[in-house]
Amino acid sequence: MELKRVVVTGLGAITPLGNNVPEFWENLINGVSGAGPITHFDASLFKTQFACEVKNFDVTQYIDRKEARKMDLYAQYAIAVAKEAVTDSGLDIENEDRTKIGVIFGAGIGGINTFEEEVSNYALTVDKGPRFNPFFIPKMISDIAAGQISIMYGFHGPNYATCAACATSTNAIADAFNLIRLGKANVIVSGGSEAAVTPAGVGGFNAMHALSTRNDSPESASRPFSASRDGFVMGEGGGCLVLEELEHAKNRGAKIYAELVGTGFSGDAYHLTASHPEGLGAKLVMKNALEDAEMTPEEVDYINVHGTSTPVGDISEVKAIKDVFGDHAYKLNISSSKSMTGHLLGAAGAVEAIASILAVKNDIVPPTINHTEGDNDESIDYDLNFTFNKAQKREVKVALSNTFGFGGHNACAIFRKYAE
């Protein structure tokens, strides 16, 4: 069968750089860091005392307080970004066939704050008998954001969550892409959200020695591809794309940001948390995405890398890029949004997809900030264009976005300038 074409017609973002897409994009291309001291809880006894938190989020701008109390913060972020994306898409919901509109929306962790609060309350009151909030389970589970979005709009199409650690929302986008091009839906609202800046979230990653401990300078702590990088910076928020079958979008006169032309998946099959040192899974996932898009490596202009600022991960991704793209690797722009947003875990793929889409739309490559060390770093060859410290204007016809998750889960999406 002939596969249908899939385009992006709506975007929504809640990030440490801004609570809507225009704010996020402006701060991203201006190289603004979203990092600062943790305010969600007292982190004074933790090895890491900073994160990239969402600022000034008011859930009542999106839903009433009574409904919000039934949701963990991660689901509140999901509702917010879905509303922005659907509004941005211009969909006339009342006159659409809502059996052909779906929601595929994931979280790597889900309602961890709810879990912590309920277990803590139980421990404090156990002598009086078990007491749990009746909304404990539906607030905690990682699929509930997808359910809440579908309930809010009455979307009866495909509806589920993906969970693949930090590759979660790229998997959600890829699943949506495949269902639409197979004719299973006209429109799918897709993405991911996360809200894991909690004692257990920070403490757990600290115990693994995964987080930066640069407490004296949070804004410069996320420094992908720099010799002094010492771990990632945790972020939070959400991202949402409205993906739509091309003819359906054209028939309603929708604006089109870009075309999603290919996705790829792979498994490292190597380690619980570390990426393969030679970038095996990263090589496979990029090759698989290019094959799916029926594109050659030479057609890609920009790679929004996973680039978490970890000692091993950054090196392995560079090795993979050089292997897949060969001589063309030196003509690419490469950058890591995480240098500014921190690592949004399950939401990273969707937020970085938005960065990639807007790079294609606006012909601007966001920077990798906080780079100070150059040739003295022997671990990474600086002969590639990492777009250090300042955004770069260039024609971006095609952008590729990488996400890699604990467990060896790898996912990749390729976006192209829309043309008839």
At residue 132, what are phi and psi to the nearest 5 degrees?
A: -130, 145
How wide is the angle at C-alpha 40 spanned by C-alphas 112 and 370, nearest 5°?
100
SS3 285: helix
Helix boundaries (H) for 182-256? 199-207, 246-251
Active-site residue identified among 166, 248, 276, 409: 166
How far apart CA 352 and CA 37 sit, in angstroms, is 23
How far apart CA 348 and CA 371 sit, in angstroms, is 21
The label of the residue with tokens 């969402």 reads 54
- Asked whether the beta carbons of 118 and 137 are under 8 A apart, the reply is no
- First CA to last CA across the chain, in angstroms? 21
For 134, residues 6+ apart whose C-beta sits below 8 A from its C-beta are none
How far apart CA 311 and CA 283 sit, in angstroms, is 18
Active-site residue identified among 343, 371, 409, 412: 343
Active-site residue identified among 276, 306, 371, 409: 306
The angle, 0 to 180 degrees and rounded to 10, between the axes of the packed helices 348-362 and 21-29 is: 70
Task: Report CA dihedral (245, 247, 248, 249) to the nearest 10 degrees.
Answer: 80
Based on the residue annotation, tell me whether 306 is a catalytic residue of this protein. yes
> What are residue 104's DSSP bridge partners?
160, 190
Burial grade of 356 (CB within 10 A; 0-12, 13-18, 19 or more): buried
At residue 370, what are phi and psi to the nearest 5 degrees?
A: 70, 20
How far apart CA 293 and CA 178 sit, in angstroms, is 12
How far apart CA 324 and CA 369 sit, in angstroms, is 25
The CA distances from residue 97 to 89, 153, 157, 310, 376, in Å, are 16, 12, 9, 46, 59
- Asked whether the beta carbons of 71 and 148 are under 8 A apart, the reply is yes
If phi > 0 it is left, if psi is from -120 to 50 it is alpha, else beta; for residue 59 that is alpha
> What are residue 410's DSSP bridge partners?
266, 404
Which residue from 245, 212, 257, 222 is spatially nearest to 46, judged by alpha carbons? 212
Active-site residue numbers?
A: 166, 306, 343
